[in-house]
Amino acid sequence: MFKRELVSLILPAYNEASSIEKTVFITAETLLKITDRFEIIIAEDGSKDGTDQIAYNLSKKYPYVVHLHSDERQGRGRALNRALKAASGEILCYIDVDLATDMIHLKELIHSISVEGYDFSTGSRMMPKSDAQRSLKRGVASNGFNFLVRTILSSNIYDHQCGFKAFKRDSLFNLLDEVQDKGWFWDTELLVLAQHHGYKVKEFPVTWQEGNATKVDLKKDIFDMGFQIFRLQWNLNKQLKMNGGKPCEVVSESKEI
């Protein structure tokens, strides 16, 4: 257990009344084995099923729980931006509220930043030693998307969209306002920018099980994310011209365990 830096863990929540309380308990129990200084921020994004009241009650009952409410749906990127800027920790992370990624990996996620000195850390469902259980349809879509990101945006990351990420505060905040997307592409844009700016990014394999109630609309979101790939490519090319044609160093390190 390390005791130096406060860890802020964000749970993005939209209509999660059936699971949010259990997720908070499991998350707190896991964090207590890693650090004695943490907060859990429930970034509750305009829920209509009572998630807001449950989150509020949890924040009143447990001093380490913070409830961040929005009256209207903001979308993944905007909700995460708001929560990250409200967080107090030197180590910032977020995980999907359905706990699709096995919590056994939370220690490595946090230690990658606090102990190993990486700026960004992300779990991966697509590395050779990853164990990911998902539908064929979603698997094909995800593989295709990540292939395009790696090819078009020169990323070294296998899996850009896994909802299991951690950040060094200063490194994140140096980039946060550069991320233009406010939806599902937010994760990808952040990781691509981090690599192009020369930050140390660690990717490691995880055990992952697809949730039953995904909020992703495959047709709509994949079309939008395809558009965002080319929008980001255009921005990076513009930066390249401004730098006199000298490309930024793309830095990342994928770790097998």
Residues annotated as catalytic are 187
Q: Rounded to whole angstroms, how far apart are CA atoms 156 and 13?
A: 29
Q: Rounded to whole angstroms, how far apart are CA atoms 169 and 217?
A: 31
Burial class (CB in 10 A: 0-12, 13-18, 19+), 241: exposed
- E strand intervals along 163-222: 164-168, 201-205, 207-209
Helix, strand, coil tally for the chain in percent (to 5): 45, 20, 35
Q: Rounded to whole angstroms, how far apart are CA atoms 96 and 105?
A: 13
Q: Rounded to whole angstroms, how far apart are CA atoms 32 and 219?
A: 40
